[in-house]
Amino acid sequence: MATVSNVNHQDNNPNTNTVAAAAPPVSSAKQTLPTAKTVDTQLQSELMALMMSGDAGISAFPEEDNIFCWKGTITGSKDTVFEGTEYKLSLAFPSDYPFKPPKVKFETGCFHPNVDVYGNICLDILQDKWSSAYDVRTILLSIQSLLGEYRKMVEKLYKPTA
């Protein structure tokens, strides 16, 4: 029966049955955070993609000279209680974006069950369901969609009883 040893040498004695096992490699590589330049490049790319998308009712642009702070606009979709209403948003991107979500808030009042009185938005993709695959366009479309779901929520809550 062979025994395993944590020694990193081989026993050249033919009369022993010791098998040397190498210690497992230790990885010193950690996931590196993106640099300000990479985040800047990422956000510039997302801005261009958003501008080229042609999506109705959403827009966003960096604030003055700070690529990490954006102002956005969402217009309520057709056939919703928010139809035609324009909402202003602020988007603040962290230094480790896109690995962490931006902080997004309504700057104009929005009466919705997923928006508190301070404009904070309760939306899973801005919290625990965030993915680095999401971009500004995805965020804005998701918020616009969330506004459209308001009618469905109200109809479920106040379903007429017969």
Domains of the chain: 36-154 (3.10.110.10)
Q: Which residue has the higher pLDDT, 106 or 27?
A: 106
What's the rounded mean pLDDT across residues 83-101?
Answer: 97
160: exposed, middle or buried (Cβ count in 10 Å: 0-12, 13-18, 19+) = exposed
Strand order in the sheet with 66-75: 58-63, 66-75, 86-92, 103-106
- pLDDT at residue number 102: 98
Q: Which residue has the tokens 């210690």?
A: 23
The residue-averaged pLDDT of 67-92 equals 95
Catalytically annotated residues? 122
pLDDT of residue 21: 47
Residue 45 banded pLDDT, cuts 50, 70, 90? very high
Q: Within a 10 A sphere around the Cβ of 3, how many other Cβ atoms?
A: 9
Of residues 27 and 136, which shows the higher confidence score?
A: 136
